[in-house]
Amino acid sequence: MRILHTMLRVGNLERSIDFYTGVLGMRLLRQSDYPDGRFTLAFIGYGEESETAVLELTHNWDTERYDLGNGYGHIAIEVKDAYQACEEVKKRGGKVTREAGPMKHGTTVIAFVEDPDGYKIEFIQRKPVSGAPD
């Protein structure tokens, strides 16, 4: 067994695809319209669905916005350098909600950014493996 995808409901599909591809560097893997159900599914990610977990963006045509509720946490993305990743997000027009730095009560370097619908994405800086090149 493996995780295939995580689904997020989005209010504006093109804006969300632009964020995940243009700001976070993912690729649009596939997109399908379902006119009878009045929704579109777009799958995005850093690798192929057959090899890695991806995000499914669900756009219900008649819904412009969602209440995120208080149960949702965040999507975590490993990055080489969280400080540099935050600068790239800002350069590309994205919103950094917590600048890179050590997490509370720990040493792992993290940061948070927010997508156009308010979903949180955590950057976790990759820890160097001793003896391995960067």
String of DSSP letters for 2-35: ---EEEEE-S-HHHHHHIIIIIT--EEEEEEEET
CATH class of 75-125: alpha beta
Give per-residue pLDDT as tens, 87-99: 999 999 999 999 9
* Same fold: 5-60 with 75-125: yes
Measured CA distances, 9 to 53, 58, 74, 75 (Å)? 17, 5, 14, 14
Give per-residue pLDDT as tens, 57-83: 999 999 998 988 878 899 999 999 999
For residues 92 and 49, what is the distance between their CA atoms, to the nearest angstrom?
Answer: 26
Fold annotation for 5-60: 2,3-Dihydroxybiphenyl 1,2-Dioxygenase; domain 1 (3.10.180)
Please report the pLDDT score of residue 103 as a whole number: 93
| Residues noted as catalytic | 122
Task: Spell out the residues 6+ positions from residue 68 whose beta carbon is closer than 8 angstroms to its own.
Answer: 117, 118, 119
Instruction: Write down the pTM of the prediction.
Output: 0.84
Give per-residue pLDDT as tens, 13-63: 999 999 999 999 999 999 999 999 999 999 999 999 999 999 999 999 999
Domain ranges of the chain: 5-60, 75-125
User: Residue 16 corresponds to which tokens in the numbers above?
Assistant: 């969300």
